[in-house]
Amino acid sequence: SYSGTITVTATGGSGSFTYQWVKEPYEEGEAASLSGTTTATVSVSASLGAGQESVGRVRCEVRDSDGRTATISQAYSFTDLS
């Protein structure tokens, strides 16, 4: 099993922030799962067999207490080299 974390840091805005992470559509060998999708840090993990790869993107929407939003997208890649 392969895993990693991606963290966003929100600054400015008003009050507290809420977070929502989602996987963006991707077709090539995308087998990863997410956990912690409503926190500033999301965990991405994938179970791969020998020589397999999982490639994709996650997107986080950050919203402040006034309803203003910012969105960031980040790529990930896991490859079993055995």
pLDDT tens for the chain, 82 residues: list them. Answer: 889 999 999 999 999 999 999 988 655 555 678 999 999 999 999 888 888 888 888 999 999 999 999 999 999 898 888 8
Collect all residues with Cβ–Cβ distance below 8 Å to 68 and sequence separation of at least 6: 13, 14
Q: Is 81 helix (H, G, I), strand (E, B) or coil?
A: coil
User: What's the number of CA atoms in the CB half-sphere (13 Å) around residue 63?
Assistant: 9
